Structure 1
């Protein structure tokens, strides 16, 4: 049986009693290159996935975020297989999964849950999320279906993803009427994308005790600084992400001042630019924001773990905030 070696501070998921590390591992990269969404990343051998999961657990990360749409279930299966191969107890490896709502109704939430559990090798789904706000059914119907899953012990907690403030509040109210609560809202958030600070989502989450799960916290690697130092690396990227405006010469020029500050901070703390960016994200708003960086190589997992081992000073967090404000989307 595998046991974690590094103890890191944990925080509650929303109003639940479940404790999660400030960083989880995003498992989009485990899609095995399958499906429209999975083609965003190259195929990864299962042995590499096993190693990344093992390293993450040993570094204190205790939860993993996957989704039905990631490789049409391939990510779920790869994660389930890795945890089984490593013989990790369920309480040491919490799982967040997501239901894909496009062109489907709320009835699909309950009718497909057993397939999701099966894909995960029978492991418990600790957090089940509606992946997008686009469905053939209402938020009310979706949350009632989610509440039914909790009552039937199919999932432990409920979250949403990409919900605006209005829909998030509606989801919380429906669940409250059912005797439960909305644990989380998974949204895009980084030093280069801070729209949730202006559109009401972050303020509402703080008010209601809902955890914000930040995806794409490193903007596909831009905040690592490696593409600024060596733009030729962009030509080696597989998948459509290299066509993002952030990877264009104009995008690199725009974000360069922020990345240079991250580099200065990295030297000051003896860490990497990536770790500085992640550390700011999980501490600037207290315990409200957690993040799910991915990892397609072992050294990415090592980078993630390192971001949990220190805390930026208030002065340095404010300096990063000001530099970010000049280049981020609001």
Structure 2
């Protein structure tokens, strides 16, 4: 299977990863998503592995370590050995100083045991009592001490990403990634300088909400009664409204047509588009609360769009955005 280099690091990933936010089990995330019992986490992770997914993205913020522990347990259950997969997690900066990064690394390693932290990320671009440069210096020390392999950020603006890159570069370390929202209904990276800068610096963009939390699978277009079952806060975050579905219907119709041609699903087309349209700079993260979700997402690894198909979907996406 083709792999994708993470930034300018020595890490190589499957072109699609599995996100583990839904494994939180408690906290605000669990209020917006169904609780996933450990036996289902095991099945989801095993299904993703069987489909060719080799990297997993979690965070301290997902249940205060609950997601990390659930992921590690599932990998062990699947007989995965440390080093066989790539594990990414994140440090939450809110209300903390940069010194907390080093003080809490033991807790992160313990939660993920026996798996090492291949990519450690700053989860947000705000809320810390320390500067981005101080945070990057702390991360650099963790790399130098062999406690993590690579450094990334999440939800950073283009300017903040440049600052993080510059500070790490002083220590001979390349910023590996910036985790941001990217999908056919959210292409801000093309207009705010993020994509161009990431390519110049050699930084990978890890795309969360790659299927716009299910909207880009077409399931809500096919059965609008499903909207009522979505938590109101989540509906707002998703922009899930009947009017919104009306606007994106032409895009979903085109995705369905292309999916039929590739013997794929609409959700797989959404993921394949990110891989093919951005030429490897964007590496999507797919969530899964059920094994069949993971199977479908992993199946996108075998879907490759033509340039014409990718451009057609981009043009329809532009029309929705009014560009």
Q: 1:244 to 1:129 in 2, by over 3 A?
A: closer
Query: TM-score scaled by structure 1?
Result: 0.95
Q: Name the CA distance, whole Å, in 1 between partners of 2:303 and 2:244.
A: 30
Query: Could you tell me how far 1:233 is from its partner in structure 2?
Result: 1.3
3-state secondary structure, aligned to 2:239 = helix
Aligned 8 A contact 2:19 2:58 in 1 = yes
What secondary structure does 1:81 align onto?
helix
SS, match of residue 320 in structure 2: coil
What SS is found at the alignment partner of 1:137?
Answer: coil
Equivalence for 1:136: 129
Q: Match for residue 155 of structure 1? A: 148
1:19 alignment partner in structure 2: 12
> Which residue of structure 2 lines up, in the alignment, with residue 241 of structure 1?
234
The structural deviation recorded for 1:239 is 6.8
Aligned to 2:52: 60
Query: Where does residue 73 of structure 2 map in the other structure?
Result: 81
Q: TM-score, normalised by structure 2?
A: 0.97
Quickly say closer, same or farther: Cα 1:124–1:30, change in 2 above 3 A. Answer: same
Deviation at 1:27, TM superposition (A): 0.5
Q: 1:160, CA displacement in angstroms?
A: 0.3
1:171-208 CA distance string (max 9 Å, x none): 11110101111000000110000011110111100001
Aligned residues of 1:27 and 1:65 also touching (Cα < 8 A): yes
Structure-2 separation of matches of 1:72 and 1:262: 37
**How much has 1:130 moved relative to structure 2?**
0.2
1:322 and 2:318 aligned: no
C-alpha separation between the residues in 1 aligned to 2:131 and 2:276? 34
Q: In the TM superposition, what are the counterparts of 1:97-116 in structure 2 within 5 Å?
A: 97-116=89-108
Question: Map of 1:182-201 to 2, 5 A cutoff?
Answer: 182-201=175-194
Instruction: Report how far residue 39 of structure 1 moved.
Output: 2.0
C-alpha spacing 1:219/1:123, structure 2 compared with 1 (3 Å): same
* Of 81-90 and 303-312, the range deviating more from structure 2: 81-90
Query: 3-state SS of the aligned residue for 1:61?
Result: coil
Q: Deviations over 1:194-225 (max 9, x none)?
A: 01111011110000100000000111100111
Which residue of the partner structure matches residue 296 of structure 2?
Answer: 303
Pick aligned residue for 2:33 from 29, 34, 41: 41
- Report what 2:249 is aligned to: 256
SS at match of 1:79: helix
Q: How many residues align?
A: 322
Are the aligned partners of 2:177 and 2:206 in contact in 1 as well (CA < 8 Å)? yes
Decide whether the 8 Å contact of 2:22 with 2:29 is kept in 1: no
> Cα deviation per residue 1:155-177 (whole Å; 9 max; x = unaligned)?
00000011111111111111010
Over the aligned positions, Cα root-mean-square deviation in angstroms equals 1.3
State the Cα distance separating 1:99 from its structure 2 match.
Answer: 0.4
Distance 1:245 1:206, change over 3 A: closer
Q: What is the distance in 1 between the residues matched to 2:161 and 2:237?
A: 28
Q: Equivalent residue for 1:5?
A: none
Specify which of 263, 287, 290 is matched with residue 270 of structure 1: 263
